[in-house]
Structure 1
Amino acid sequence: MTAVTSGWRRAWTDALDALEVDVERVEALLAEDHRARDLPLATPWSPPEGLGELPLDLRPRADAILNRQLAAAQALALAMVANRRQSEMAARIEAGDEPRRPAYLDCAI
């Protein structure tokens, strides 16, 4: 491997490492959601300047990271929907916004 090829490959390996760290953080948040308040927000990833094309032998790793990111994003969306539903239910219970229903109906009359 030439020095240029080695540097190009190393740059891509570093970029994929950064993406993998981000997706691992999201997966950890999903696994231990109670710790979410303690962790800083992730900054959006952008490729380093002058990176060039992805080496073909790193494509499977990049695809795997992308698939994990998509799965983590879907899991986050589902968790947010569930959280919103739970919050709405709790608000109705606390505020009493449910329509009143009779507790007892006398059918003897």
Structure 2
Amino acid sequence: MSDWRSAWVAALDDLEADVTRIEELLRTDQFNRDTPATDPWAPPEGMGPLPLDLRPRADRILARQIAAAEGIARAMAGNRRQAALANRIELFDSGAAPPAYLDRAM
């Protein structure tokens, strides 16, 4: 195996490990916990173009990354809805004006 191909295999291994970690977080609902931020991926310097035989694997990883990003967006939207509902319940806010009482005894 050439050094060029080996470098790309290692780079794709890293990308695949990242997306696998995100998929696992989505499955286990760990978005509510602190997770370390990751650096944006860039191919290592001097690797040259992606070998053609690795293109299908790179495409599958990209599709998984897109699906994971969509899952993150759905999870975030769900969390916002849940937080808004919890806030309404906590404040007893039905969206209507609060009741007003008038003491007519005076």
Match for residue 31 of structure 1 among 27, 37, 41: 27
Give the structure 2 partner of residue 73 of structure 1: 69
Distance (whole Å) between structure 2 residues aligned to residue 80 and residue 35 of structure 1: 9
Structure 2: gaps of 5 or more residues:
100-106
Give the structure 2 partner of residue 52 of structure 1: 48
* Per-residue deviation, 1:96: 2.2
8 Å contact from structure 1 (residues 12, 54) kept in 2: yes
Match for residue 11 of structure 2 among 12, 15, 25: 15
The RMSD of aligned alpha carbons is 2.0
TM (normalized to structure 1)?
0.80
Say if 1:40 and 1:92 are closer, same or farther in 2 by CA, change over 3 A: same
Distance (whole Å) between structure 2 residues aligned to residue 36 and residue 87 of structure 1: 12
Give the structure 2 partner of residue 105 of structure 1: none
Percentage identity across aligned positions?
59
Deviating runs (4+, > 2 A) in structure 1? 38-43
Distance (whole Å) between structure 2 residues aligned to residue 73 and residue 35 of structure 1: 13
Q: Counterpart of 2:76 in 1: which secondary structure?
A: helix
Distance (whole Å) between structure 2 residues aligned to residue 55 and residue 44 of structure 1: 22
8 Å contact from structure 1 (residues 29, 35) kept in 2: yes
